[in-house]
Structure 1
């Protein structure tokens, strides 16, 4: 049996020109109009490719649930392991303040290898186990809507890394599972 995991990062939650901040599990921002437009573009792309999702999973925050609803046209099953990371003392802080607190090396380790900076609550082992469990049991086309912080663990569970672990807002990655072997097909693709 073949499965395809369509991993989507939620749409934009900041208006154009807003300063970048670390928003995670404790800040439930809604999608902006631009974020909803990103979700519609994903819906249209998957519809044009005739992708029919047999299962739809999302993190519990409104931005992931709304993105899933727009993309798939149905409510998602909430998967707690898809929740965004908890940025601890860096929650809602701008990037300059985060960098000043933890340093560029810690941010590079997070971006390159998923090593959580000091004070962030990530539960790496549980996230990796959840992705591996999904790889073992998934069937058909599955839509997963989450955050950049949570999505990266799909790649880490594969031990396969593209040039960047980053998944931009409104972008998808595709993992195909054939004969119980998962492989990365695409990452960080926008319609």
Structure 2
């Protein structure tokens, strides 16, 4: 749009008769959003008036009239209305994303095993899902009855069980617990039914 006539002379703008609030409101009513952003005048009038220095506002007022491109076309919403709309949309998008993350966090699965370290490992080499692990184990019930083991008389050659961890080759509780153990570690792992053999238990045990 063509450059309009100035509302105030520079002397008038510098006087106490024209407040910082007056200058900001006037510039916001005419300037493009880019001009407002470049001069840090995109925001709430009250907040801007409180923090802005009048010499900076006077300079922005003078700069506004230096080129036609600094002025809005006059069609549609004002630049500041456009800014507030964009700001609100951004805040709503951020709030929605935060809510989504909160829901996802609340749905995180509860760990279904507890681990007691009996002998520390090297604390450096931890397996990742899909890695092949070798281990000795003893499976027992809460009353101490052993239902499976590869330690002792049943495994005279002392051959460890070997499988790819974290891939469902063994019960989930064991899979997940092994991923927390470093090389050489010995631990007692108590697994809840959901990550063990389920509510029916292991058939052979009864």
Greater RCO structure (CA 8 Å; 6+ sep): 1
Greater gyration radius: 2
TM-score grouping bracket, smaller chain normalisation: under 0.3
- TM-score of the pair, normalised by structure 2: 0.18
- TM-score of the pair, normalised by structure 1: 0.19
